[in-house]
Amino acid sequence: MGKIILTGDRPTGKLHLGHFVGSLRNRVKLQNSNEFDEIYLMIADSQALTDNFDNPKKVRDNVLEVALFYLACGIDPKKTTIFIQSQVPALTELTFYYMNLVSVARLHRNPTVKQEVKLRGFEESIPSGFLNYPVSQAADITAFEGEIVPVGEDQLPLIEQCREIVRKFNNIYGETLREPEAIVSKNKRIKGLDGNEKMGKSLGNAIYLADSDEEITKKVMGAITDPKKLKKEDPADPNVCMVYYYHKLFENENIKVVHDECENGTRGCVACKKELINKIIESLSEYRKNKNYYEQNPEIVDEILKDGCNKAKNKAMEMTKKIKQNMKIDYFE
């Protein structure tokens, strides 16, 4: 069995810097390491529908946004198969079989599900599709024999759930499924410019990839710095400053200088912020150029997605055949 990566994203919400320097940079690095035999990157539209079933347009529009984002960030369709979850019917089929292996109580106990239920106001009445999305995520991973699953920390309970399903399945039906391992992209959750632990729409502290240079400038200028520093000459602690934190995220090659000058009181916050703004805009320029290219050539994106969906469909179908054989539901094979 080859070394296989599978991961994915729900196509909801606007993409921000956290997606850019967090998960995507890491995935492009993994892709270009050439250490993996197969890499699958899934746009999880079916999963997105579990809590957006009443807003199909939002999900559909975001599928394209996410695809453009992947390509513009350097995901290479020759190395990584990009596909759309709903176009791979085997995933829904497997979900139904795996549902037998998980109790409702266990799903209710899943910390990520619990948190999301609260966030979405589902406490009174959880759609059963939503409650079961961890099961469908186990189908996603095992259908592709995913061994390595690069995710943010919030996804760990879902990978654990998948591992439980795998063990139970193999116990009952014989050794069939591969037990995956998560690798946590440490920057997936980046802090907001206001120092909040999370950058996000609801918190109003995010820099979006679609922001103009002026918006980026305005947002960075408002970032939280060391409150003890009132004048340029005041020595400060870079470790409590969000501007320093972002310099690190953007891999500023002079990071030591930034640190020392801040500490010595030889660097003013305004100059420091301006340097960061330039760095962010510079990093985004390649992305914007690429995104623009794909936007101008939608037929290329279409072809990539169609091809990816086909490849994914075949791979998942092969694996599902094996699974059904072991479950003794392969009547006419």
Chain residues that interact with ligand TRP, rule: CB under 6 A: 6-10, 42, 44, 47, 137, 140-141, 149, 151, 155
Judged by beta carbon, residue 7 or residue 62, the one nearer ligand TRP is: 7
Question: CB of 76: closest distance to ligand TRP in angstroms?
Answer: 20
For the chain, the helix, strand and coil percentages under 3-state DSSP, each to the nearest 5: 60, 10, 35
Question: CB of 291: closest distance to ligand TRP in angstroms?
Answer: 20
Nearest to 132 by CA among 153, 150, 158: 158
Question: Three-class SS of residue 172?
Answer: helix
* CA pair distance 5, 172, nearest whole angstrom: 26
Judged by beta carbon, residue 42 or residue 269, the one nearer ligand TRP is: 42
Judged by beta carbon, residue 8 or residue 77, the one nearer ligand TRP is: 8
Judged by beta carbon, residue 112 or residue 252, the one nearer ligand TRP is: 112
Find tokens 């020595």 and name the residue.
Answer: 235
Question: CB of 146: closest distance to ligand TRP in angstroms?
Answer: 7
Which residues are registered as beta bridge partners of 8?
Answer: 42
Question: CB of 40: closest distance to ligand TRP in angstroms?
Answer: 9
Judged by beta carbon, residue 141 or residue 236, the one nearer ligand TRP is: 141
Question: CB of 141: closest distance to ligand TRP in angstroms?
Answer: 5
Judged by beta carbon, residue 147 or residue 261, the one nearer ligand TRP is: 147
The angle at the Cα of 138, spanning 132 to 139, to the nearest 5 degrees, equals 95
CA gyration radius, the chain: 22
Question: CB of 137: closest distance to ligand TRP in angstroms?
Answer: 4
* CA pair distance 84, 313, nearest whole angstrom: 10
Judged by beta carbon, residue 84 or residue 236, the one nearer ligand TRP is: 84
Please count the other Cβ atoms lying within 10 Å of the Cβ belonging to residue 241: 23
Question: CB of 202: closest distance to ligand TRP in angstroms?
Answer: 16
Q: Please give the structure tokens belonging to residue 226.
A: 């060391």
Largest CA distance in the chain: 80
Strands 181-184 and 148-151: parallel
